[in-house]
Amino acid sequence: MMLSNIFLKTLWDFKKAAIYWLVGIFLLALYIMFVLSSIELDAFQTIFDSFPKALVQFIGGESGIDLSSISGFLNAQIFTIMAPIMVIAVAVNSGGKSTASEETIKSLDIILSAPISRESFIIQKIFSMTIKTLFIAIVHWLSYFILGIAFAQTIPNEGLVAICFNLFLMGISFGMISIFIGTLSGNASQAVGIGGALALISYLIANIAPLVDSLNNTKYFSLFYYYKGSDPLKTGFHTWHWAPFLAITLIFFILSIYQFRKRNLL
């Protein structure tokens, strides 16, 4: 029964959006795969090889752009900008609204007048944010996995799983930060806005830092570096890159519960 608890009810709220995301991501993947299987990728690579290195790094990240293969194109385009935007949008939106939105629209009072502790409420909301983010990451993996086979293109499955898993971990990290901001302020738009802005700053740091030698080390402060810095689509899993995501998720999980427990709900 989808309305039997807060976790399931939050997923029930997501059901329409989930279908739109599923169709949207799949259609985008279909379009990309159709175009890529119809054109000569080497020609693209020749053009990009003539670009200044800094510009190529800014667009494609530290590892630059490899457009000589479909997986290179996916790495440079889909998994550098579009997929992270989608995953972070869902995670930050879900996280920022999880407690703060209920507080803003005043529905939280009634929910918490039932025998449900604040801890249970926020943990259920965190789990639902995690599941939504995982869903978007899995849809990405499935779309490119299925369409790779359908278009007889070589996309290394281990790499695809690895980058989608990193995508999921990065998503829940930003989602948890948004949840924490929501517990601080009780203001949903602030929580979503700050979470999104942090993601944007993180993206810019990861892409700009390698261009300037003196800033190069600042990339380690960006979650985008741990997401794609090891080039997981090509090289597969790098478990040590999971550590910052897990640490941030855990820290903000604890802080969110602590903050939500101790705050006066106005």
Partner 1 sequence: MPEVITVSKLTKKYGNFKAVSNISFNVEKGEIFGLIGPNGAGKSTTMRSMLNFIFPTNGKISVGGFDSVKDYLKIRSIIGYLPGEFTTYDNMTGLQYLTHMMHLRNKPEKVGYAKSLAKKFDLDLNKKAKQLSKGNKQKIGIIQAFCHDPEILILDEPTSGLDPLKQQEFDELILKFKEKGKTIFISSHVLPEVEMLCDKVAIIKNGKIVAENTMAQLKSMAMNRFEIIFKNEVSERKFGKSIGVKNISKSGEKFIFDVEGDVNKFIKKISENKVISFRSMEPDLEEIFLSFYKKNKGKK
Residue 152 touching partner 1 (CB under 8 A): no
| Of the candidate residues 27, 35, 105, 247, the single one contacting partner 1 (CB under 8 A) | 105
User: Among the candidate windows 19-27, 34-42, 214-222, 258-266, which touches partner 1 by CB under 8 A?
Assistant: 258-266
Residue 258 touching partner 1 (CB under 8 A): no
Are the C-beta atoms of residues 179 and 34 closer than 8 Å to each other? no
| Of the candidate residues 30, 112, 138, 142, the single one contacting partner 1 (CB under 8 A) | 112
What residues from 13 to 52 belong to the interface with partner 1 (CB under 8 A)? 13
| Site string (228-247) toward partner 1, x via CB under 8 A | --------------------
Assign residue 21 a region (left: φ > 0; alpha: ψ between -120 and 50; beta: otherwise): alpha
Residue 214 CB burial class (10 angstroms; 0-12, 13-18, ≥19): exposed
Q: How far is the CB of 122 from partner 1 (least distance, A)?
A: 14
User: Among the candidate windows 101-109, 131-139, 153-161, 207-215, which touches partner 1 by CB under 8 A?
Assistant: 101-109
Please identify, using beta-carbon distances, which residue of 102 and 231 lies nearer to partner 1: 102
Please identify, using beta-carbon distances, which residue of 1 and 152 lies nearer to partner 1: 1
Please identify, using beta-carbon distances, which residue of 4 and 217 lies nearer to partner 1: 4
- Host H or E run for residue 253: helix 242-262
Are the C-beta atoms of residues 29 and 70 closer than 8 Å to each other? no
Q: Is the dihedral of CA 214, 206, 94, 127 positive or negative?
A: negative
Give the alpha-carbon dihedral of 29, 137, 224, 253, to 10 degrees: 160
Question: Diameter of the chain by CA atoms?
Answer: 65
Please identify, using beta-carbon distances, which residue of 234 and 263 lies nearer to partner 1: 263
Nearest Cα residue to 259 out of 178, 173, 181: 181
Please identify, using beta-carbon distances, which residue of 64 and 186 lies nearer to partner 1: 186
Are the C-beta atoms of residues 176 and 125 closer than 8 Å to each other? no
User: Among the candidate windows 57-65, 100-108, 178-186, 194-202, which touches partner 1 by CB under 8 A?
Assistant: 100-108
Q: Give the binding-site size for partner 1 (rule: CB under 8 A).
A: 22
Tokens of 180: 């924490």
| 43 DSSP 8-state letter | H
Q: How far is the CB of 4 from partner 1 (least distance, A)?
A: 4
| Site string (1-20) toward partner 1, x via CB under 8 A | x-xxxx--x---x-------
| 115 DSSP 8-state letter | S
Residue 114 touching partner 1 (CB under 8 A): yes
Tokens of 36: 């890529």
Binding site for partner 1 (CB under 8 A): 1, 3-6, 9, 13, 105-107, 109-117, 264-266
